[in-house]
Amino acid sequence: MMQKKIRNDKFNSKADSVADLLGTASRSHPERLKEIITDLENKNVEIIYRPDEALGYSPGLREGTPRQIIIHEKASISTWEHEYMHFLNDEERGFLCMKSLYDSNYRVLTELNAYIKEVEFVKSLSGNNDKIIKQLKKNFSEEFKYIIENFGDITNTGLINRIKSFKNL
Amino acid sequence: MMGHILPLNPTIEKMSDTELEKNFAKKPVIFGKQNYYPVFAKRMDKFKDFLFSELIDSNNIDDFVMGNVTTSWLIAIAILDYADNDFYKTEMVILIKQNWDDTNFKNFLKYIKNEEKFVKYFK
């Protein structure tokens, strides 16, 4: 997937900054990881492990078709939570499949939710992790720019206000 | 009858062929680049060469939109979803086999595996 770009969750130390801090989820948070994987598997999400630097959530092609999570074998718990958030948001909307890809408001919303989750998690850790938080916010900004250039501007004013708050988080 | 998979942007759909080309060439593309491909595919007689060149453009092959889904995949799905001439679809499959690497091709087939009306062109 991925010429290892950061945008769209490309996995590298910038895309998974928390991996440098906590290491792989299976060691740092094995129970939470098990919960996430169990829920995904029970809901027929294909989990595709990749040895290369790839990750992301793909909605199904059509209603009832398999959704996929592509994830690095050694991804951090923060990255797992990020991709899991995309699944949960998709589930809340009743799995709109490919149509959700073209909905900028939704795409930005689910990225925002995922990055807020990551930033709040990093803030809960001990130590000075400002650099990681800065990187996560930068990743969100890049995703945001990509989405509006590719799928059109967002129109939801509540969402715009949430983005402003996130930048100050 | 199953509906279409990709949405058509009503504003873009109303554009003339000339407006489509002109607006797609703008940077950034007005109304979002990805919204044009289904409309181009619907007008395949006019835009076949352009869409095929976009389909095999290395920037689009490497451009991951969400998860495993690339811009090239979305172009292929747009053609399968909206082109009304089977010959274009058969021609597209040949181009894909010639220009996408094996892993990318297999991942795409895996993604569309339940959509029989798409899969039949790859058999």
Rounded to the nearest angstrom, the minimum Cα separation between A127 and chain B is 32
- Per-residue pLDDT tens for A96-120? 889 899 999 999 999 999 999 999 9
B36 contacts B20 by C-beta, under 8 angstroms: yes
CB atoms within 10 A of CB A27: 12
pLDDT, tens digit, 9 for 90 and up, residues A11-37: 345 678 888 889 999 999 999 999 999
**pLDDT at residue A50 in the model:** 83
What ipTM was assigned to the predicted interfaces of this complex? 0.91
- Is A61 within 8 Å of B5 when comparing Cβ atoms? yes
What is the domain partition of chain B in residue ranges? 10-122
Q: Return the axis-axis angle of helices B44-55 and B17-24, rounded to nearest 10°.
A: 20
The CA distance from A102 to A68, in Å, is 18
Q: Which positions in chain B touch A148 (Cβ < 8 Å)?
A: 28, 32
From the list B54, B102, B101, B62, the residue with the least C-alpha distance to B78 is B54
pTM of the model: 0.91
Q: B113 vs chain A: nearest CA distance in angstroms? A: 9
The A-side interface with B (CB below 8 A) comprises 1-3, 5, 7-8, 10, 48, 54, 56-59, 61-62, 64-66, 68-70, 97-99, 101-102, 104, 107, 148-153
**Alpha helix stretches (DSSP H) within chain B:** 10-13, 17-24, 37-42, 44-55, 58-61, 71-82, 86-99, 102-112, 116-119
Region A134-147 average pLDDT: 94
Query: What pLDDT score does A14 carry?
Result: 62
Average pLDDT, chain A: 88
Chain B residues with CB under 8 Å of A149 CB are: 28-29, 32-33
| Average model confidence (pLDDT) across chain B | 95
- Asked if A70 lies within 8 A of B68 by C-beta distance, the reply is yes
Nearest CA-CA distance, residue A100 and chain B, Å: 9
pLDDT of A40 higher than 70: yes
| Nearest chain B alpha carbon to A111 | B66
The secondary structure of residue B2, as a DSSP letter, is -
CB atoms within 10 A of CB B90: 11
SS3 B63: coil
Nearest by CB: A102 against B7, B67, B115: B7
More confident residue, B15 or A5: B15
Q: Which chain B residue is nearest to residue A62, measuring alpha carbons?
A: B5
**Where along chain A do its domains lie?**
17-167
> Which positions ≥6 away from A135 have C-beta within 8 Å?
A14, A17
Query: pLDDT tens for residues B83-100?
Result: 999 999 999 999 999 999
User: What is the model's pLDDT at position A65?
Assistant: 73
Q: How far apart are CA B16 and CA B23, in angstroms?
A: 10
DSSP readout, A62-87?
STTSPEEEEEETT--HHHHHHHHHHH
Q: Which residues in chain A touch residue B32, judged by CB atoms under 8 angstroms apart?
A: 104, 148-153
